[in-house]
Amino acid sequence: MRHTLALAARGRGFVEPNPMVGAVVLDTSGQLVGEGWHQKFGGPHAEVFALAAAGDRARGGTLVVTLEPCCHHGKTPPCTDAVLKAGIARVVVAMADPFPKVAGGGISILREAGKDVHVGLCEPDALALNAPYLKLIRTGRPWVHAKWAMTLDGKIATRTGDSKWISGEESRRRVHELRGRLDAIIVGRGTVVADDPLLTARPAGARVATRVVISASGDLPERCHLRTTAREAPVIVYTLDANAPKFRGWAADGAEIVAFPDAMTLDAVLADLGRRRFTNVLVEGGAGLLGSVFDERVADEFHVFIAPKVIGGTGAPVPIAGLGAAQMAEGLALQGVTFAPSGADVYVHGFARGM
């Protein structure tokens, strides 16, 4: 099963909004005779690849799979049909699939057909692997990654606003790699004005992330990288008045303008991204937006790059603004934290809750 989970992870960035799934087939002697993983959205599922590789050797054997086999017609036929046709005798599943069209149905079909089905092997690892998929199904909101780079004294720019570059080349490479497997990259108006970012993955990754700007006022630059490249990679601007004259040029250049006439909240933005079936989104700042992410406790995963630089300055901005915690006990203690060298920097990675 651990090998199967490693196979499943190869689909990261390619399969969303589907879950990552891996499968292996063991013959009657316990020899591994076929393996596969879900490789791209809309493509064959892991079980299909593994059973095809095993061929006749699957008959009477065991299927080990990280997620309950599907039992409905979607972009591909039901995997339960393939399992039954292959003559598999035993199925070992890491976790049930909560997707409403499956939700235990695949397991029931296999058991009713007389198959020996075991569920729960390495379940915590399977749940962690597909946490973004599970959150989208459960809440209708995508998994939120929060990222920033800061100096050793906790600054994200100098007192004059200069921020290029705090982190080194290796850290920036890691960020581009992260961008290349996510559905959206979110910034606030201040970041667009101050940094004029492109927000693309360079080199290109498995996905082309939608660039998202949150700006209640809509007071955005007439010319900037996001606007001039809106037909090359999608741009969505969330604001209060989509019909404001200042947006006509942005819309004409290919940006999508989405308005929340009554009130614009971060949760409303995330709900809209969830309706688009975005599974993973990255908040890159600045301090005001990251402050809202912290105050509203919507971040799930953190990527922080700490550079061995000290710039000082009372007026130099820090990563997290907003209201903040009143008591130390109200602070967020990350779970599953790891520390890794990233060139001269340190990459800190962790989660808002246990995985």
Please give the chain's pLDDT, 355 residues, in tens.
999 999 999 999 999 999 999 999 999 999 999 999 999 999 999 999 999 999 999 999 999 999 999 987 777 788 999 999 999 999 999 999 999 889 889 999 999 999 999 999 999 999 999 999 999 999 999 999 999 999 999 999 999 988 889 999 999 999 999 999 999 999 999 899 988 999 999 999 999 999 999 988 878 888 999 999 999 999 999 999 888 888 889 999 999 999 998 888 999 999 999 999 999 999 997 899 999 999 999 999 999 999 999 999 999 999 999 999 999 999 999 999 999 999 999 999 999 986 5
Domain termination site, one of 133, 164, 185? 133
CATH number at residue 37: 3.40.140.10
DSSP β-ladder status, 235-239 and 256-259: parallel
What CA–CA distances, in Å, run from 231 to 5, 9, 244, 252, 327? 37, 31, 21, 10, 46
Give the Cβ contact number of residue 203 at 10 Å.
9
- DSSP-derived 3-state class of residue 83: helix
CB 264 within 8 A of CB 214: yes
Q: Structurally, how many domains does the chain consist of?
A: 2
7 and 92, same domain (yes or no): yes
| Element spanning 6, H or E | helix 2-9
179 and 301, same domain (yes or no): yes
Domain termination site, one of 133, 154, 182? 133
For residue 322, the enclosing domain spans: 141-351
Position 216 scores a pLDDT of 86
118 and 161, same domain (yes or no): no
Position 354 scores a pLDDT of 63
Position 38 scores a pLDDT of 97
191 and 336, same domain (yes or no): yes
Position 355 scores a pLDDT of 57
114 and 176, same domain (yes or no): no
318 and 200, same domain (yes or no): yes
User: CA–CA separation, 322 vs 296, rounded Å?
Assistant: 10
| Element spanning 49, H or E | helix 46-54
Domain termination site, one of 107, 133, 159? 133
User: CA–CA separation, 127 vs 108, rounded Å?
Assistant: 21
Residue 16 annotated as catalytic? no
Position 9 scores a pLDDT of 98
17 and 78, same domain (yes or no): yes
129 and 150, same domain (yes or no): no
What distance, in Å, lies between the first and last C-alpha atoms of the chain? Answer: 18
90 and 122, same domain (yes or no): yes
Position 77 scores a pLDDT of 82
- 4-29 as b/e, with b when 16 or more CB fall inside 10 Å? bbebbeebebbbbbbbbbbbbbbbee
The shares of helix, strand and coil residues in the chain, as percent rounded to the nearest 5, are 30, 20, 50
190 and 212, same domain (yes or no): yes
Is the Cα dihedral 252, 258, 260, 265 positive or negative?
negative
User: CA–CA separation, 266 vs 174, rounded Å?
Assistant: 26
Catalytic residue among 47, 68, 284, 301: 47
118 and 159, same domain (yes or no): no
User: Considering the entire predicted model, what is its pTM?
Assistant: 0.93
